[in-house]
Homo-oligomer: A and B are copies of this chain.
Amino acid sequence: MVDVATLAGVSLKTVSRVVNNTPNVQPELVERVLAAVAELGFRRNHLASSLRSGQTTATIGLLIEEIANPFYAAIAGAAAEVARRHDTMLIIASSEEDPAREQQLLRDMCARRVDGLLVVPAGHDHSFLRAEVELGTPMVFLDRPPGGVLADTVLLDNRGGARAGVGRLVEAGHRRIAILLDSIGVYTMRERLDGAQDALAPTGAPYDTRLVREGIRDPAAASRVVAELLDQPDPPTAFFSMNNRITLGVVEELCRRGSDAALVGFDDFDLARLMPYPLTVIAYDTRELARTAAELLFRRIEGDRSWPRTVVLPTELVERGVPPR
């Protein structure tokens, strides 16, 4: 900047004014400065400017589990769009579901003085962020609630969605309904399981724990569990899958066998219409989830100091056919 000022024959401060589009600079000087900027290939150092001015880095951080996963990619896309409207850059980091890594990444983002944080929690204890929150760094949690810190949270109606999905199977006459889920350690899975039980309770059907299978991490595992369940003496007549990876494996195995068991899955599919199986699902708007969270965050960044709130977004039962019992 000193070089530019020298070349343009003005003071350093005038260069700063021109570079920042401050009004009240003589057009002639503006031109001279701009010429010098071009000639020297000057590029403003954003770090230095936000170091001195102190308030904003025009950057927010997004912490997710894994960017290659379509769910998180959708979140990142919606967050990026909102960030863009606020002329803000987005730092994206993946926790890989590792709480230690989550903590390290969040600390690092804070050290970079992001203006705010959008977090899909991996761990259950976020009290280490309390100091940061008190220091005034806004943060919004999404998809899962934080632990040990009071902050804005945007969630899906997991319980209501699962209740509706299993309810639909009950309505179709099913009583032996297998429930397939990933780790019970994850908040969303616990909520969905509660919802499933809400729907099952009024039927008076005995709650058969052998029909609830936990720890299914991928489609292949889901296929194996389905095979095992169908080979039992008293097989289930319907399946409730708690995420789309599992649903995929269930579809594969049901098709392989030409089974007429019913299936309802949590999470919608891009290609559901082309599936060789009527796929009724519980859908929700992932982008809306992220958009809501990001907009809440920017409201905070712009100075909103109201009490933290929790927003719950609805889910929708997308009916594509449910074979009766």
Binding site for B on A (CB under 8 A): 41, 43-48, 50-51, 57, 59, 66-70, 72-74, 76-78, 80, 84, 89-94, 107-113, 131-132, 135, 248, 251-252, 255, 271, 273-276, 287
Contact = CB atoms under 8 A, between A and B. Distances in A.
A70 B270 CA distance: 11
Contacts of A93: 80, 89-90
Nearest to A61: B89
Nearest to A50: B47
Nearest to A134: B41
14 contacts: A41-B135, A43-B107, A45-B113, A46-B108, A46-B112, A67-B77, A68-B77, A76-B92, A91-B92, A248-B271, A248-B274, A252-B274, A255-B274, A271-B271
- Which residue of A46, A66, A74 has the most chain B CB atoms within 10 A of its CB atom? A46
A293 to B, nearest CB: 15
Nearest to A113: B47
Contacts of A89: 91, 93, 108-109, 112
Contacts of A73: 67-70, 72-73, 76
Contacts of A287: 68
A248 B270 CA distance: 11
Contacts of A78: 68
